[in-house]
């Protein structure tokens, strides 16, 4: 499989968005946040492009102004605020950095690396390659007095903890790409720094990696690729949904965008609002609530949505599954691993206690040994207007 780091990051954020974007190839307009970030990145490249004289602050602001696109913003006030923020980023950057002091060896360096390892073939147990190509762009690579520094610019508001930077998979992949370019530097791994520069804060968070950490990041990448290949594309509800261009296609949101319905929208909106009020009422009538729930669930099935929106809030569908296990299959999996005696009773709790120490193949086999015992559908509500 060929996969960019940005595509991997999209899958980690929301598997369904990955499917829409990378498999279905459904294109959406760039968000204003993405346009802002692209403009800042191009300006940073202009600032550090090698030359006899490096641009001063006024020249950098002129470049930023010429690259600026006001059309992506919803209002003139929003556009002015974003532009001022960009100017402030540049002013803060020049206060803390002298472009002439940096010993830059590459800017916006494109890479392609191979990850993965050989595995036994199913037929003859011979080793077969299971490798994947990962591509991306490194914003900047510097030569430092004792080694190198790999830098990635960020224009987001939120800064992570140092612990997250120490475990950041993007920096690990960029470091592996650097080492594929300069393989002898693996001997000097303790002198290579990886950094995230948060431009809105003027803060650079740095870290280093051990060979074990690099392998762990590669294994995580391979696990995510395995999920993609198994076609697991469930939607993931998060605050980032507010900036997603696929809401009209997502079962979590597309009810808001439906223009034609077989069931009258006024009827279902009344049902939605009445359901919310009845759920909150002290003297709620159980029979009436169940009837409304069935009506809303039928509507959800008809429209292929998981949530519906009313004036007083939203209603989301829930699905509770209980499982039972095929004891014979579980025993066949665990006995060769000397783990069967640890499971006195075949249930979810007993199996979870030993799951962490099992190899990946055994975990997958156990998961396939689960059998759905019962499914129960229900609804949850969130009161309040404009639940976007």
- pLDDT tens sequence for the chain (388 residues): 888 888 988 998 899 999 999 999 998 888 889 999 999 999 999 999 987 788 999 999 999 999 999 988 888 899 999 999 999 999 999 999 999 999 999 999 999 999 886 555 555 555 455 788 999 999 999 999 999 999 999 999 889 999 999 999 999 999 999 999 999 999 999 999 999 999 999 999 999 999 999 999 888 888 888 889 888 899 988 888 888 888 888 888 877 776 545 666 777 788 888 777 776 664 556 777 788 888 888 888 888 888 888 888 888 888 776 666 677 777 787 778 776 655 544 455 455 556 555 677 777 777 777 666 667 776 676 666 545 5
What is the reported pLDDT for 240? 84
d(CA 257, CA 303): 11
DSSP state of 189: G
d(CA 24, CA 133): 20
Same-domain pairing of 116 and 206: yes
Q: Is residue 335 part of a domain?
A: yes
d(CA 367, CA 22): 27
What is the reported pLDDT for 202? 94
Same-domain pairing of 293 and 349: no
Q: Report residue 185: phi and psi, to 5°.
A: -75, -5
What is the reported pLDDT for 349? 47
Q: Give the tokens for residue 26.
A: 């459904």
Same-domain pairing of 133 and 200: yes
Q: Is residue 40 part of a domain?
A: no
Same-domain pairing of 117 and 191: yes
- Count of domains forming the chain: 3
Q: Is residue 388 part of a domain?
A: no
Same-domain pairing of 172 and 120: yes
What is the reported pLDDT for 170? 92
Radius of gyration of the chain (CA): 26
Helical residues (DSSP H) of the chain, grouped into ranges:
5-13, 15-18, 32-48, 57-67, 76-96, 162-166, 169-181, 211-229, 265-280, 286-303, 327-334, 348-355, 360-368
Angle (nearest 5°) at CA 265 between 261 and 271: 130
**Percent over 70 (pLDDT), the chain:** 82
Q: What's the distance, CA 256 to chain centroid?
A: 24
Same-domain pairing of 195 and 275: no
With the C-alpha atoms ordered 293, 295, 298, 300, is the resulting torsion angle positive or negative? negative
Other residues' Cβ atoms within 10 Å of the Cβ of residue 340? 16
With the C-alpha atoms ordered 289, 294, 299, 305, is the resulting torsion angle positive or negative? positive
d(CA 66, CA 312): 46
d(CA 36, CA 69): 8
State the pTM of this model: 0.64
Q: Is residue 152 part of a domain?
A: yes
Q: Is residue 53 part of a domain?
A: no
Same-domain pairing of 109 and 211: yes
Q: Is residue 308 part of a domain?
A: yes
Other residues' Cβ atoms within 10 Å of the Cβ of residue 30? 14
HSE, CB side, 13 Å, CA atoms: give it for residue 120.
5
Burial class (CB in 10 A: 0-12, 13-18, 19+), 172: buried
Same-domain pairing of 310 and 335: no
Q: Which residues does residue 304 pair with via DSSP β-bridges, in sequence order?
A: none
Q: Is residue 143 part of a domain?
A: yes
Q: Domain limits at 348?
A: 327-368
Q: Is residue 201 part of a domain?
A: yes
Q: What is the mean pLDDT of the chain?
A: 83
Same-domain pairing of 342 and 283: no
Strand order from edge to edge, sheet including 307-310: 307-310, 313-325, 370-383
Q: CB–CB of 33/243 below 8 Å?
A: yes
What is the reported pLDDT for 379? 66
Same-domain pairing of 214 and 194: yes
Q: Which are the contacts of 15, defined by CB distance < 8 A and separation ≥ 6?
A: 227, 228, 232, 233, 234, 235, 236
CA of 253: how far to CAs of 305, 306, 367, in Å? 7, 8, 30
d(CA 181, CA 185): 9
Same-domain pairing of 212 and 281: no
Q: Give the tokens for residue 191.
A: 């002198």
What is the reported pLDDT for 260? 47
Same-domain pairing of 156 and 186: yes
Q: What's the distance, CA 205 to chain centroid?
A: 20
Q: Give the tokens for residue 189.
A: 């791994």
């Amino acid at each position: 499989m060929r996969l960019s780091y940005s595509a991997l990051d999209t899958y980690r954020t929301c598997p369904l968005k990955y499917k829409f974007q990378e498999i279905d190839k459904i294109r959406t307009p760039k968000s204003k946040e993405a346009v802002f970030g692209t403009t800042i990145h191009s300006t940073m490249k202009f600032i550090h492009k090698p030359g006899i004289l490096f641009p001063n602050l006024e020249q950098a602001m002129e470049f930023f102004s010429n690259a600026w696109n006001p059309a992506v913003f919803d209002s003139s006030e929003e556009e002015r605020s974003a532009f001022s923020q960009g100017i402030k980023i540049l002013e803060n950057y020049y206060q803390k950095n002298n472009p002439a002091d940096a010993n830059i060896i590459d800017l916006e360096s494109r890479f392609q690396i191979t990850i993965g390892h050989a595995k036994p073939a199913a037929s003859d147990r011979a080793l077969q390659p299971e490798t994947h190509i990962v591509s991306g762009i490194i914003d900047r690579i510097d030569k430092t007095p004792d080694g190198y520094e790999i830098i990635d610019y960020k224009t987001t508001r939120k800064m992570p903890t140092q612990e997250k930077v120490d475990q950041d998979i993007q920096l690990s992949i960029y470091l592996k790409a650097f080492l594929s370019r300069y393989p002898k530097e693996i001997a000097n791994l303790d002198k290579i720094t990886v950094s995230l520069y948060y431009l809105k804060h003027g803060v650079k968070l740095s870290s280093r990696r051990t060979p074990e950490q690099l392998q762990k990041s590669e294994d995580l990448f391979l696990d995510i690729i395995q999920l993609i290949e198994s076609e697991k594309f469930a939607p993931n509800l998060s605050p980032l949904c507010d900036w997603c261009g696929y809401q009209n296609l997502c079962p979590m949101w597309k009810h808001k965008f439906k223009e034609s319905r077989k069931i009258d929208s006024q009827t279902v909106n009344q049902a939605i609002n009445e359901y919310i009020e009845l759920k909150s009422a002290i003297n709620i009538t159980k029979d009436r609530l169940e009837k409304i729930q069935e009506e809303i669930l039928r509507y959800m099935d008809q429209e292929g949505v998981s949530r519906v929106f009313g004036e007083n809030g939203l209603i989301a569908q829930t699905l509770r599954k209980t499982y039972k296990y095929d004891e014979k299959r579980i025993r066949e999996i665990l006995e060769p691993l000397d783990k069967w005696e640890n499971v006195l009773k075949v249930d979810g709790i007993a199996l979870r206690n030993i799951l962490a120490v099992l190899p990946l193949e055994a975990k997958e086999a156990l998961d396939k040994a689960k059998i759905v015992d019962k499914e129960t559908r229900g609804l949850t509500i969130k009161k309040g207007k404009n639940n976007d």
